[in-house]
Structures are given as structure tokens and as C-alpha cells.
Amino acid sequence: MSGYFDHIDPIKFEGPDSDNALAFKYYDADKKVLGKTIEEHLRVAVCYWHNFCWDGHDIFGAGTFGRPWNAGLNDQAAAEEKLDAAFDFFEKLGQPFFCFHDTDVMAAAETPKEHVENFAAIVDKIEAKMSDAKTKLLWGTANMFSHPRYMAGASTNPNPDVVEFSALQVKHCLEATHRLGGAGYVLWGGREGYDTILNTDVGQEMEQLGRFITMVVEHKYKIGFKGDIWIEPKPHEPTKHQYDRDVATVYGFLKTYGLENEVGVNIEPNHATLAGHNFEHEVEIANAFGIFGSIDFNRGDPQNGWDTDQFPNDLRENTMALYYILKGGGFKNGGANFDAKVRRQSKDPEDLFHAHIGSMDLLARALMNAAELIESEKLSGFVDQRYAGWKTGLGAKMLQGKTNLDEMATAAVEKNVSPVPISGRQEYLENVVTNFTK
Ligand code: XUL
Ligand code: CO
């Protein structure tokens, strides 16, 4: 026990009329929605890095949070104190999952041997903690972007020695994720991209990335890891051009290297908006290509263009996202990880709870709205009817590859009518969504 959250009672569901800021109003974990409980649908995860590692510093100022485990050296004792605090938080919040980077949980390391030893030492402790906790591991990942050695990328680095270090980190983190029962493993591109083309061989770097991810997949089979591997698209920040800029780009890359049936995506709304897409677009593109995996829920700020990683609070946006997630079959191994951080002035332990309670309530409402939208068939009925022409006749033959330009052109001339445009009913459909957002 860390003692850090002792003054906060376990968070309970009290319903929408409750005045208690430290209670759930909508996140009723056991409530059934479309045949599954809210907890089973959402698979909520708390992330280690924003909540327990970041100390509140920004580019102009020092840390503001004063969390005791971040006060001194990041040694094994501090890593264990942080682990205690993290599991105390998980127990009080009661969410089913957490996520971590290797460097979030372990004592700082400089050499490869130190990395292996320090990581192994904390993985033993995490395993012990998990043995009497409800919280399971949603996914693990290796941080290959913070240390200066990764300045020019990890697997896309011009120096193969850096790629060796990356291989070491991913091997150990994937094996730890497997040992801890993780449902997935995430590869965020970090610095896999470039700042100036003048010093970069893009073709060479893409080849390195393709080979590296192939080796990760091979290792997954070698160790018998049954979870999924997901790439997390992001268009820029930290590098100007990231190779995995959005879901469609990632799909093209996976297809090029024959990985499209092995690797899916972990979508983050703030990354989607930085790429000029909305959240539901990224979800539906992933559904269309069959690579939907998991979500790092958060939001950006519409007035600025960087990755502010704020907790989500837009009910309509998340109703839309949950609608397309459910339409695609919902989460399987993936879940709702909050890759979000409280603002720098929100320095108290309570603030971490307010942030997660509010976002879990928001997602529960969005889920219930989305389920009602699905059941009403108002959107799907409209779309099905809009594409009904493709079920029969030449439309069906075209999709089956059984017609050609000659036959279609002849059919058009025989009918000899210019097709009459049909309304797309955008405003009507937007009204439907508004009326289901409650
Ligand atoms: C960075 C980001 C990461 C990944 C994991 O923008 O989202 O935290 O989710 O490395
Ligand atoms: Co993320």
C-alpha cells in the first residue's frame, strides 16, 4: 500500500442523480447492453505513463504534481513505490485493465544488460501484484522514443546498433506482456519517421520497419503469445513526418509487407484529428480493412494543433465512435485505454479520479446511445437501402468480377436514361444522431 490514495474510498456506482463527484453516474459495470455488461463491452484500461510517471512538467516549467515516487532517483525502490500507488489506484477505481511501457514501470537503465535486469526485476513484482488484484493487462509496449539513443528513430534508425537495442526492448517487453497475460501488444511509431528528407533514405527506413515488424510477429509465434499486435497511427509529433500517419496508410504498409492478417491498429482520437480525420472515420476505415484492434481514448483541443491528450468529454463524438465500434463487432482483445493526462494544475490525487470517473461515465453513456442507435436501425437501414442496387443485376455482377466495361456500357445505352440523383439526407441523419445523444 502506498498510502497516497488512502483518503479516497473505492468508487461506486450511485446513478445519475448522485451529487458525489467520486462516484459513477452512468458506468454501471454489471448493467447489460446488447447482451454484454458495460464492463465487458468497454474493457477500460488505465495507462501507467500519464498517471504515474509524468510529474506535471511542461516545456516551460517543472513538475507540479509532487507524487512522492517521482521525487528522487528512478531506482528499483521508486519503481516499486510507483507500482504500489498504481495498484492502489486500480483497486479504488475498479477498472478491469491497465497498460504500460517497459520504461514506465522499471528503474532507469543505460546499458542493455541493465535494461534486461531492471525490467525483469519489476516484472516479477508486477506479476505478484496482479496475482491478488482484479486488474489485468490490456497491452504492453516498449518506449523507444524517450531515450536520446532513439533521437533518429528506433527500428528505422540509420545505425543498426540502435535497431539492436530496439530488438532487445521489444523482445523482453513482448515476453513480459505474454507472461503477464496481456491481451495485446502495441507498437507506437514514436520516432519512426523523419524531420528532414535531406538526411533520410525513406525507402531504406521503410524496409527496416517492415522487416522489424515481421520479426516481432515471428517472435509472437515463437513464444506462443495468443494476443494481438497493434500499430498506433499518428501523423506527426514528435517527427514532422511519421510513417504510420493514419489507419489507411498503416494498412497500405501492412499489405506491402504481407502483415495485414497479423497486425491491427490501436486508434487514438487525438492522432486522428491531427491527421485531419475525425475519430469515427479512423474506426470505420479499420473496420473496412478488417484491422480494428483497440482504442486509446482521449481528445485534442480544437483550437490548437498538437497532441494534448486530454480526457474525452464530448458525448456526441464518442457516441459516433462507439456506434462504429459496435457496428464492427465491438472490442475483442482490445479495449478502451485512456491515453489521457490531467492538466498540469490538476495536481491532487482526486484529480486522477475525477478524470477517469468522468470519462468512464461518458463512455458508458456513449455505449448506451450507440446500442440504441444500432437497435433502431435508423442509420443502418438508411445505408442498406442506399446501396441496395448492388445486390442484383449488373451491380452484383460487377462486384463478382463477372462483367466488363463493354457489357456495362451497352446496358447504359439500352436503358438510355441519365440516372436521377438521390438525396444523401445528411441533415436528417445528423438529426438522428443528435436525438440519440443523451
Ligand atoms: C503517443 C502515444 C503513446 C502510445 C504508446 O502519442 O499515444 O503513448 O500510446 O506508446
Ligand atoms: Co496512444
Ligand 2 midpoint to CA 424 (Å): 35
Residue 1's pLDDT is what? 84
CA distances from 150 to 154, 186, 337 (A): 5, 18, 25
In a domain, 252, yes or no: yes
Check whether the bond before 238 is cis (ω within 30° of 0).
Answer: yes
* Structure confidence at residue 16 (pLDDT): 98
In ligand 1, the atom with minimum distance to the C-alpha of 266 is 9
Residues 289, 328 contacting (CB under 8 angstroms): no
Pocket test for ligand 1, best of 232, 299, 307, 338 (most atoms within 8 A of CB): 232
- Atom of ligand 1 minimally distant from the CA of 337: 9
Q: Of 342, 376, 410, at which residue does a domain stop?
A: 376
pLDDT at 305: 87
Q: What does the block give as the cell for 340? A: 489521457
* Cell 507524487 -> residue: 67
Nearest residue (CA) to ligand 1, atom 8: 339
Atom of ligand 1 nearest to the CA of 307: 6
Rounded distance between C-alpha atoms, residue 407 and residue 394, angstroms: 9
CA–centroid distance, residue 406 to ligand 2 (Å): 49
d(CA 346, CA 65): 8
Residues 148 and 265 in one domain: yes
Q: How far apart are CA 252 and CA 411, in angstroms?
A: 35
Indicate whether 213 and 330 sit together in one domain.
yes
> Bridge-partner residues for 264, per DSSP?
230
Task: Establish if 367 belongs to a structural domain.
Answer: yes
Task: Locate the ligand 1 atom nearest the alpha carbon of residue 296 and give its number.
Answer: 9
**273 in the same domain as 422:** no
- How many domains is the chain built from? 2
For residue 369, the domain's CATH number is 3.20.20.150
Q: How far is the CA of 279 from the centre of ligand 2 (A)?
A: 13
Spot the catalytic one: 41, 101, 115, 172: 101
In a domain, 63, yes or no: yes
With H, G, I as helix, E, B as strand and everything else as coil, classify residue 93: helix
Report pLDDT digits (tens) over 246-271. 999 999 999 999 999 999 999 999 99
Q: What are phi and psi of 19, to 5 degrees?
A: -100, 0
307 with 405, same domain: the answer is no
**pLDDT reported for residue 207:** 98
Kindly give the distance from the C-alpha atom of residue 295 to the centroid of ligand 1, in angstroms, as a whole number: 11
Residue ranges making up the domain that contains 412 = 392-435
301, 409: one domain: no
Burial class of residue 188 (count of CB atoms within 10 Å of its CB; 0-12, 13-18, 19+): buried
> Within this chain, do residues 272 and 399 fall inside the same structural domain, yes or no?
no
- CB contact at 8 A, 221 and 231: no
CB 331 within 8 A of CB 287: no
**32-33 and 36-37 beta bridge pairing:** antiparallel
| Assigned domain for 3 exists | no
Rounded Cα distance, 51 and 92, in Å? 14
User: Pick from 106, 125, 4, 131: which is nearest to 48 by CA?
Assistant: 106
**Phi, psi for residue 330 in degrees, rounded to 5:** 80, -175
Q: 15 in a domain, yes or no?
A: no
Testing ligand 1's pocket by substitution, the residue of 52, 188, 234 carrying the most ligand atoms inside 8 A of its CB is 188
Residue 27 lies in a domain: no
Identity (one letter) of the amino acid at 28? D
Residue 316 shares a structural domain with residue 428: no
CA–CA dist 392, 300 (Å, integer): 44
3-class secondary structure, 62: coil
- Can 101 be counted among the known catalytic residues? yes
Ligand 2 is a single-atom ion; what residues have CB below 5 A from it?
268, 296, 339
Out of 46, 339, 341, give the residue to mutate to test ligand 1, the one with the largest number of ligand atoms within 8 Å of its CB. 339
How far apart (Å, rounded) are the C-alpha atoms in residues 40 and 33? 10
Asked if 114 and 239 sit in the same domain, the reply is: yes
Query: 287 and 351 in one domain?
Result: yes
Give the pTM.
0.97
Identify whether residues 333 and 425 lie together within a single domain.
Answer: no
Q: What are phi and psi of 135, to 5 degrees?
A: -70, 125
- Inside any domain, residue 279: yes
For residue 188, report the distance from its CA to the centre of ligand 1, in Å: 6
| Same domain assignment for residues 193 and 282 | yes
C-alpha cell at 32: 447489460
Q: Which three cell numbers stand for residue 363?
A: 463512455
User: CA 16 to CA 31: how far, in whole Å?
Assistant: 14
Cα 340 from Cα 142, distance rounded (Å): 18
Residue 414 lies in a domain: yes
Q: Any residues with Cβ below 6 Å from ligand 1, and which?
A: 101, 141, 186, 188, 232, 234, 268, 296, 307, 339
The percent of the chain in helix, strand and coil, each rounded to the nearest 5, is 50, 15, 40
Q: Active-site residue among 28, 88, 102, 104? A: 104
Compute the half-sphere exposure of residue 419: CA atoms within 13 Å on the CB side of its CA. Answer: 6
What DSSP state is assigned to residue 197? Answer: G
Write down the H helix ranges in 143-274. Answer: 160-179, 202-223, 247-256, 269-274
* Rg for the chain, CA atoms, rounded: 24
Ligand having the closest approach to the CA of 297: 2
Burial class (CB in 10 A: 0-12, 13-18, 19+), 184: buried
Helix (H) or strand (E) holding 233, with range, is none
Question: Alpha carbon 76 to chain centroid distance?
Answer: 29
Looking at residue 315, its amino acid is: L
C-alpha span between 21 and 13 (Å, rounded): 11
The candidate with the shortest Cα–Cα distance to 266, out of 315, 337, 322, is: 337
Which portions of the chain are predicted below pLDDT 50?
Answer: none
State the Cα–Cα distance between residues 319 and 26, nearest whole angstrom. Answer: 14
- The two most distant CA atoms of the chain are separated, in Å, by 82
Residues 313 and 416 in one domain: no
